[in-house]
Structure 1
């Protein structure tokens, strides 16, 4: 019975994935289905299969930041629940139950895409420098003799996001200051040109008066 129900739920999430997700995200939903079937804390044979399917997609969406509008695979709870014909509150609550039972958090390696995992993975050089994994692999791999790969946990992820936001804020402030300084220099140049033109005009008038 459990195996049959698992297949039914997998088919439901596969149908959703075909319409709204890419292959990698669809594979994540399938892995979660299988993990649920093997979990003793939850019994997927109880309750409506549509609610289980919707909740599974909801968990994957949350773990992969799909509710973020800037994500290219952006989803809303309405899209998920409308597809499966489920209530948003019920689906969200069931998703939370699943996350707690399987100890799932944002960017969980088991149920996330490589892109999400890499974006929150960092390396530590033997000198103690912490760098984004992507930077090391794509730009300065040859300069790093020894690295320790680490996956940021949820609290560290928040700290990283705060740090990145502060960095962005500082960069924007620096860019604005540079823009204002450039405008100030342009005004100074324009003022010098204006004064020079006025002086030339005065000198011209002076020469004309002497001729008279």
Structure 2
């Protein structure tokens, strides 16, 4: 694979992503899409030059959009498909491959926006030593208790609850 050809393809994809982002994404979201592209470009098993640039751009954007619930904000497969003039099944399949390859989902903070990270319901739960998943506030210190809670006290509290 020719390095110059690969760099040209990466720059084309980056430009396509930036064009789409100007109309539909924030700077933070565009940065995450570019990060996905950069990771993709470092993969040795994937020859990025064998697929059209617009398909790669649509795939990267759709992989990001799936993990960040962007379809709820109006960025649908139809919009991405019409913007890049590619078939939904084509970039949808490639986006699925990217999600598997890089573990792109709404639980991975590397690929989600700050807004999605803050609204993640897993931020409000904790697993006890016994394996139960309970709300974090169940273990918070009561306002009348002035002594410091040590790890031992937390373990005792957990055992008392269950």
Q: What is the TM-score when the length of structure 1 is the normalising length?
A: 0.56
Q: How does 1:163-174 map to 2 (within 5 A)?
A: none
Q: List runs of 5+ in structure 1 lacking aligned partners.
A: 147-212
In structure 2, the residue matched to 1:80 is 80
Q: Name the residue aligned to 1:4.
A: 8
Q: 1:116 to 1:125 in 2, by over 3 A?
A: same
Q: Which moved more, 1:109-118 or 1:85-94?
A: 109-118
Distance 2:82 2:149 in 1: 51
Q: How does 1:18-167 map to 2 (within 5 A)?
A: 18-67=22-71, 69=72, 73-120=73-120, 121-122=122-123, 124=126, 130-131=135-136
Asked if the contact 2:16–2:57 (Cα under 8 Å) also holds between the matched residues in 1, the reply is yes
Residue by residue, what CA displacement relative to the aligned partner does 1:43-67 show, whole Å, maximum 9, x if unpaired? 2111111100001110000010112
Flag the structure with more relative contact order, 1 or 2, with Cα contacts below 8 A and sequence separation at least 6. 2
Moved beyond 4 Å, runs of 4+: 123-126, 143-146
Any idea what SS the aligned residue of 1:56 has?
Answer: helix
Report the Cα offset of residue 117 of structure 1: 1.4
Q: Which has the larger radius of gyration?
A: 1
Aligned pair count? 135
Cα distance change of structure 1 residues 118 and 5 upon mapping to structure 2, 3 Å threshold? same
CA RMSD of aligned residues (A): 3.0
Greater helix proportion: 1
Judged with a 3 Å threshold, the aligned counterparts in structure 2 of structure 1 residues 129 and 94 are, in CA distance, closer, same or farther, namely closer
**Partners of 2:26 and 2:79 in 1: CA distance:** 15
Deviations 1:174-196 (A, max 9, x none): xxxxxxxxxxxxxxxxxxxxxxx
Q: Distance in 1 between matches of 2:109 and 2:93?
A: 22
Q: For residues 102-133 of structure 1, give each alpha carbon's deviation from its aligned partner in whole angstroms, at most 9, with x where no partner exists.
A: 2222342111101111221425499x96338x
Cα 1:145–1:39 change in 2 (3 A) is: farther
**Cα distance 1:5–1:99, how it changes in 2: closer, same or farther (>3 A)?**
same
